[in-house]
Chain A
Amino acid sequence: EVQLVESGGGLVQPGRSLKLSCVASGFTFSNYGMNWIRQAPGKGLEWVAYISSGSSYIYYAETVKGRFTISRDNAKNTLYLQMTSLRSEDTALYYCARSRNSGPFDYWGQGVMVTVSS
């Protein structure tokens, strides 16, 4: 069974940093691209970042480019999102999701909440 489990969220002050993790199981992690997608409270879905299976290709949404860094450790079956210079508008539930290249997001985690507030 495919499982994606996010962690690392919490309450953080504006301008500070936070690192999210997503541990994958039930599939060969190194064969798949991975994504971070977020959902602000009561709002729709926003794609945040993508990393290819071997980390060769990385893409970001303009809203986070230069502030967020996506990475992965295939030996640990873990995806990361390093978030810096956090803003109130980054407050959201952050999901990790599996995909093949720019294909559909076929499995999603349960999400981890990030709240940016003083």
Chain B
Amino acid sequence: EIVLTQSPTTMAASPGEKVTLTCRASSSVSYMHWYQQRSGTSPKLWIYETSKLASGVPNRFSGSGSGTSYSLTINSMETEDAATYYCQQGSSYPLTFGSGTKLEIK
């Protein structure tokens, strides 16, 4: 099983601040997907295949990485970006998620 480790666990950012969330895999994966989950709602696909933005996702978001190290970056934090972000690998079964990064607005 591929274990995904996200960091930080929680963080707070001010409006306009640049934010980077990281996801490390215990073995090399081909790509990473990211999901956003706001409190009390279902997760939404946010970034897929490492760097492709899902429909409707603002272009202040970007994704990058390869092998065992991946990241999600917000160029300029906005209040609506406060949520928990999960990474997920689809390279091998069982499919696995990271434990999430809770991002709060400062």
Contact = CB atoms under 8 A, between A and B. Distances in A.
Contacts of A80: none
Nearest to A59: B93
A108 B36 CA distance: 12
Interface string A42-77: 001111001000000001111000000000000000
B99 A44 contact: yes
Interface stretch (B14-22, B73-81, B84-92): B84-92
A45 B92 CA distance: 17
A106 B45 contact: yes
A60 B94 CA distance: 7
Contact of A45 (B35, B44, B91): B35
Given A45-B43, A110-B42, A111-B42, A104 B96 contact: no
A109 interface: yes
A102 B97 contact: no
Q: How large is the interface on B (under 10, 10 to 19, 20 to 34, 35 or more residues)?
A: 20 to 34
Q: Is the interface of B mostly helix, strand, loop or mixed?
A: loop
Interface in B39-86: 42-45, 48-49, 54, 86
Contacts of A59: 93-95
B24 interface: no
A110 B42 CA distance: 6
A29 interface: no
B48 A62 contact: no
A6 to B, nearest CB: 10
Given A44-B97, A62-B94, A106 B42 contact: no
Nearest to A45: B97
Interface of B: 1, 33, 35, 37, 42-45, 48-49, 54, 86, 88, 90-100
20 contacts: A44-B98, A45-B35, A45-B43, A45-B86, A46-B97, A50-B93, A60-B94, A61-B94, A62-B1, A95-B43, A99-B90, A103-B48, A104-B88, A104-B90, A105-B33, A105-B35, A105-B45, A107-B45, A108-B43, A108-B44
